[in-house]
Amino acid sequence: MKEPFFKTAAELAALGKENIPDAFRLDTHLIYNSPAALDFNSPGAQGYGVKRAGLSVPDSVMLLIAPRSCGRNTSGLAAGDTERFGWLLMDETDIVTGRHLKKIPEAVRAFVESREKQPSVVMLCITCVDALLGTDMERVCRRAEEAVGIPVRPCYMYALTRDSKKPPMAYVRETVYSLLRPRKKNPRAVNLMGYFAPLSDDSELYEVLKGFGLKYIRELGRCKTVDEYHELSEANFNLLLSADARDAAAMLEKKLAIPSVEITRLYEIDKIGSQYKSLARVLGADYKEPSMKNEAEMAVAELLAITPKPVFAIGSRLNANAFELSLALVRYGAEVAEIYGDPQPQDFSYIRRLAEISPDTRIYSNLSPTMAVYDEEKSPVTVAVGRDAVYYHENAVHVPWSDETQPFGFSAVRDFCRAVISACEGKEQEKQPSKVSLGEKIVSSHEIHGLRLAIAPFAPDTSGAAAVLFPLDALTVIVDAGGCAGNICGFDEPRWDVKSFAKRSTVFSAGLRDMDAIMGRDDRLMEKLALAADEVDASFAALIGTPVPAVIGTDYRALVRLIEKRLQLPAVAVDTDGTKLYDEGASKTWETLMKTFATAGEPCDAVGVIGVTPLDFSSEEAENIRKSIDGDVLLYGWDGELSNIKRAGRVKKNYVASASGLRAAKYLEKKFGVPYEILCPLSAVEKSAVSEASEQGGRMLVIHEPVRAEAFRKALAEAGAAEVTVGTWFTPVRELSRDGDVHFKEEAQFARFVEQGGFSCVIADAALRKAAPRYIGVWLDVPHFAVSGER
Ligand code: SF4
């Protein structure tokens, strides 16, 4: 039986920081892409990644210059408040020639003009593609600045450089402070740096600093206006609360002569006190112990009184250093059985002390491929802390401890203990609001190819491919630097919550770094694949392409041959590049799977359905399709059996539920003589939209993927509608198209068609409405996950 990799605290301490095992090193293996690894794989996917962090300056806006796969998660950021984002979507020519660069000044001008209120700064966010193209962003920003007359700054999202001396998150911290100008210093002013969100209002740090004579305690996360932002320049010193902001602090010291002092977030009460005393000494001030210390001590005592005594798993996706928090808990007398984290040399001071008092605590890597076989049943853990630990411990008490508002000091200890106590008592934790807001009305009128000012990117081809492969027992590798995998599995794949899917699915990121891409190091990818193949049971290997291999021209055929030879495993590759839409990626994948695995032979009595993925259907809708067909129904892909796909050439008939299944169905008909039929029953919500629309009367416009749109058209006609036009953003299906139907490619074209088409009723995802604000008819919302990410 395969086991997940771990080291005990004692073993790790004995190895020392010079001999950290490879499984904890990120460049030696594929990255397991479960939700537990999401923050690593795609720091932009949730919380404060580059995209949100870049908007920390009040009234700033961001233009994302990227293949659609890089911007797909934007609608999920900031609770769906996307008004501060615009997107210049790159096509397949842009990503290899860099021709998009010429459009940037014009796109920035159209973006700025589309906002009701003039932004304070435009952030231009670029991706791995421009990293590989060697784009001089400083120059691009200067040209854009000339076009709009307001500051334009670069934000680098490229995950390829995550392990470099200055990774994207360090850059963005510099960028958001870079607009500050020298001002007269105020000896009573200090800035707190390190987090994008503010500290908890009741952190005693404010009281401690006031006790030191500091009157103005400022944080970027509390600045509501540009004037408040510029007051940050008055600080006498910056107090660094996280090492992540060291580069930004150094930049401010150089540029504005603001020195910095660093302290860190701790959960050991005695160490918190010592740290405040040291700070007082550095500042030449007197320190008076805050009353919050007592509250923290009392909360710890209450935590230790919980019965039965909790056994903790501490993850890394939380507001703490996993090793320091574990050490603090063990020192208080609690039991920590497991830690999820990838120890860095600087963590060894905690690990060594932990090894002395809790030598058997197991330290797992979230990112190791072996975590795909982690089994909760074998663990004694009863309380899981951190989003990653929660993922592995479905049956434990959950304490995510990852709110955006940052806990700090004694109050963090108190609040942490209270959170654990409440969770153990079964009380819900209060959710912190998390929203970036600007809220201008968007007016979208431009003719720039690929520019989106209102509609966030739809699901890309990479997500379409991954959605087809996810339930299959494949060793699936997204050939990317981490961010694409995070976008796909964190945003476009909802089935992690369904145990039967999550158990089976082993999706990895190749974890490419800049030198892998520049040198085309396929051999390293092969080594990683071979290691992962030893750890998971997979029927075949599947590669999903992303923008990085598209830019460097990866030879997938050669890779497939290599995999088959070295791993003795069938392999397929889908050459998606992140610039196209999900239907194309799904379609390629269905076709590839059928061509590779479907076989002739004894006819079987079942019927098959091609084209069902969560990008088009909810679980309920998928099951409705099954119920609407008589007999033994194989929902290829959804049912998760490669053996079903193997039978696809021998079934009585194949049904096509979305346009993405059509090419594969045609192949199966031609090759094996299996007939196909298009079939897409409408859901209850959709049927009620049909009755509402038919009551409305007049000209109707249905916007969806082609098969579903056609199902609407038929249902509307049956309900008596006289004139129904179909529009789609996805690849049209010739046999379903009628005169007057339209294929949308650009936002402005879409806006004109909807606003000026004389439609009395539009049936479409509500997210599209933003792009046609002057449309005055009825809009019936039919959510389409591939469009809005909403169900
Ligand atoms: S890792 Fe993928 S999503 Fe992230 S910037 Fe690179 S290409 Fe885009």
Is residue 132 lining ligand 1, measured as CB closer than 6 Å?
Answer: no
Give the residue, out of 127, 169, 509, with the most ligand 1 atoms within 8 A of its beta carbon, to mutate for a pocket test: 127
Residue identifier of the C-alpha nearest atom 6 of ligand 1: 128
**How confident is the model at residue 763, as a pLDDT?**
97
The chain-wide mean pLDDT, for the chain, equals: 92
**Tokens standing for residue 365:** 């890597």
| Chain centroid offset of residue 445 CA | 30
Distance (Å) from CA 68 to ligand 1 centroid: 10
Query: Which residue has 């009628």 as its token pair?
Result: 738
Task: List, in order, residues 6 or more apart from 782 with CB less than 8 Å away.
Answer: 685, 686, 689, 704, 763, 764, 765
**pLDDT per residue as tens digits for the range 560-588:** 999 999 999 999 999 999 999 999 999 99
The DSSP result for 245-280, as a single string, is: GHHHHHHHHHHH---EEE------HHHHHHHHHHHH
Is the pLDDT at 482 greater than 90, yes or no?
A: no
The CATH class given to the 684-788 domain equals alpha beta
Is residue 481 lining ligand 1, measured as CB closer than 6 Å?
Answer: yes
Q: Determine which of 78-82, 364-368, 402-406, 692-696 has the lowest per-residue pLDDT on average.
A: 78-82
Residue 610: strand pairing partners: 656
**Tokens standing for residue 633:** 């129904």
Is residue 548 lining ligand 1, measured as CB closer than 6 Å?
Answer: yes
Count how many residues are written for the chain.
791
Is residue 544 lining ligand 1, measured as CB closer than 6 Å?
Answer: no
Closest ligand 1 atom, CA of 129?
A: 7
Distance (Å) from CA 482 to ligand 1 centroid: 7
Is residue 462 lining ligand 1, measured as CB closer than 6 Å?
Answer: no
More confident residue, 502 or 578: 578
Residue identifier of the C-alpha nearest atom 4 of ligand 1: 483
Is the pLDDT at 430 greater than 70, yes or no?
A: no
Q: Determine which of 532-536, 631-635, 775-779 has the lowest per-residue pLDDT on average.
A: 532-536
Angle between helix 582-597 and 461-469 (nearest 10): 40
**How confident is the model at residue 516, as a pLDDT?**
84
Backbone angles phi, psi at 596, to 5 degrees: -85, -40
- Residue type for position 168: P
Average pLDDT over residues 169-188: 93
**How confident is the model at residue 11, as a pLDDT?**
98
The candidate with the shortest Cα–Cα distance to 48, out of 402, 408, 325, is 402
- Residue type for position 127: T
Is the pLDDT at 186 greater than 50, yes or no?
A: yes
Cα pseudo-dihedral 666, 670, 673, 679, rounded to 10: 10
Is the pLDDT at 559 greater than 70, yes or no?
A: yes
Pairing mode, strands 362-364 and 6-8: antiparallel
- Exposure of 138 by Cβ count < 10 A (0-12 exposed, 13-18 middle, 19+ buried)? exposed
Task: List, in order, residues 6 or more apart from 121 with CB less than 8 Å away.
Answer: 57, 59, 60, 61, 150, 151, 152, 153, 179
Is the pLDDT at 69 greater than 90, yes or no?
A: yes
Domain 43-168 CATH assignment equals 3.40.50.1980: yes
**How confident is the model at residue 37, as a pLDDT?**
75
For CATH 3.40.50.720, list the domain ranges present in the chain. Answer: 684-788
Give the residue, out of 94, 161, 546, 554, with the most ligand 1 atoms within 8 A of its beta carbon, to mutate for a pocket test: 546
Eight-class DSSP state of 84:
T
Closest ligand 1 atom, CA of 128?
A: 6
Is residue 65 lining ligand 1, measured as CB closer than 6 Å?
Answer: no
The DSSP H or E segment spanning 778 is strand 778-781
Tell me the C-alpha distance between 719 and 713, whole Å: 10
**Tokens standing for residue 471:** 């339930």
Is the pLDDT at 440 greater than 50, yes or no?
A: no
- Exposure of 292 by Cβ count < 10 A (0-12 exposed, 13-18 middle, 19+ buried)? buried
Q: Most distant CA pair in the chain: distance in Å?
A: 87
**How confident is the model at residue 694, as a pLDDT?**
92
Residue 540: strand pairing partners: 474
CATH topology of domain 189-283: Rossmann fold (3.40.50)
Give the residue, out of 33, 70, 77, with the most ligand 1 atoms within 8 A of its beta carbon, to mutate for a pocket test: 70
Task: List, in order, residues 6 or more apart from 32 with CB less than 8 Å away.
Answer: 366, 367, 368, 369, 370, 371, 372, 506, 508
Tell me the C-alpha distance between 351 and 349, whole Å: 6
Average pLDDT over residues 433-462: 70
Distance (Å) from CA 514 to ligand 1 centroid: 12
Distance (Å) from CA 526 to ligand 1 centroid: 21
Do 108 and 47 contact (CB within 8 A), yes or no? no
**Tokens standing for residue 779:** 């809009």
Sheet holding 311-314, edge to edge: 6-8, 362-364, 335-340, 311-314, 383-385, 397-399
Report the number of secondary-structure helices (H) and strands (E) in the chain.
Answer: 33, 29
Tell me the C-alpha distance between 479 and 460, whole Å: 15
Do 85 and 437 contact (CB within 8 A), yes or no? no
Distance (Å) from CA 484 to ligand 1 centroid: 5
**pLDDT per residue as tens digits for the range 638-673:** 887 889 999 999 999 999 999 999 999 999 999 999
**pLDDT per residue as tens digits for the range 712-766:** 999 999 999 989 999 999 999 999 999 999 999 999 999 999 999 999 999 999 9
| pLDDT bracket for residue 505 (50, 70, 90) | confident
Is the pLDDT at 317 greater than 80, yes or no?
A: yes
CATH topology of domain 461-678: Rossmann fold (3.40.50)
Q: Determine which of 11-15, 38-42, 451-455, 537-541 has the lowest per-residue pLDDT on average.
A: 38-42
Q: Determine which of 30-34, 44-48, 240-244, 689-693 has the lowest per-residue pLDDT on average.
A: 44-48
**pLDDT per residue as tens digits for the range 89-133:** 999 999 999 999 999 999 999 999 999 889 999 999 999 999 999
Is residue 156 lining ligand 1, measured as CB closer than 6 Å?
Answer: no
| pLDDT bracket for residue 163 (50, 70, 90) | confident
Is the pLDDT at 427 greater than 70, yes or no?
A: no
For CATH 3.40.50.1980, list the domain ranges present in the chain. Answer: 43-168, 189-283, 461-678
The candidate with the shortest Cα–Cα distance to 332, out of 295, 359, 305, is 305
Distance (Å) from CA 594 to ligand 1 centroid: 29
| pLDDT bracket for residue 41 (50, 70, 90) | low
Tell me the C-alpha distance between 763 and 781, whole Å: 6
Angle between helix 706-718 and 684-696 (nearest 10): 50
**How confident is the model at residue 456, as a pLDDT?**
92
Beta strands, E only, 273-334: 311-314
Average pLDDT over residues 285-305: 97
Distance (Å) from CA 425 to ligand 1 centroid: 41
| pLDDT bracket for residue 86 (50, 70, 90) | very high
**pLDDT per residue as tens digits for the range 130-151:** 999 999 999 999 999 999 999 9
Is the pLDDT at 340 greater than 50, yes or no?
A: yes
**How confident is the model at residue 170, as a pLDDT?**
85
Alpha-carbon distances, residue 433 vs 39, 126, 403, 405 (angstroms): 19, 28, 9, 9
| pLDDT bracket for residue 315 (50, 70, 90) | very high
| pLDDT bracket for residue 441 (50, 70, 90) | very low
Is residue 128 lining ligand 1, measured as CB closer than 6 Å?
Answer: yes
Is residue 49 lining ligand 1, measured as CB closer than 6 Å?
Answer: no
**How confident is the model at residue 293, as a pLDDT?**
98
The gap between the terminal CA atoms of the chain, to the nearest Å, is 39
| pLDDT bracket for residue 436 (50, 70, 90) | very low
**Tokens standing for residue 55:** 């908007």
| Chain centroid offset of residue 167 CA | 18
**How confident is the model at residue 76, as a pLDDT?**
62
Distance (Å) from CA 756 to ligand 1 centroid: 37
Alpha-carbon distances, residue 11 vs 5, 337, 356 (angstroms): 13, 14, 11
Residue identifier of the C-alpha nearest atom 1 of ligand 1: 483
Is residue 482 lining ligand 1, measured as CB closer than 6 Å?
Answer: yes
More confident residue, 669 or 375: 669
Signed CA dihedral, 533, 538, 539, 540: sign only: negative
Is residue 127 lining ligand 1, measured as CB closer than 6 Å?
Answer: yes
**Tokens standing for residue 484:** 């694409």
Average pLDDT over residues 765-783: 94
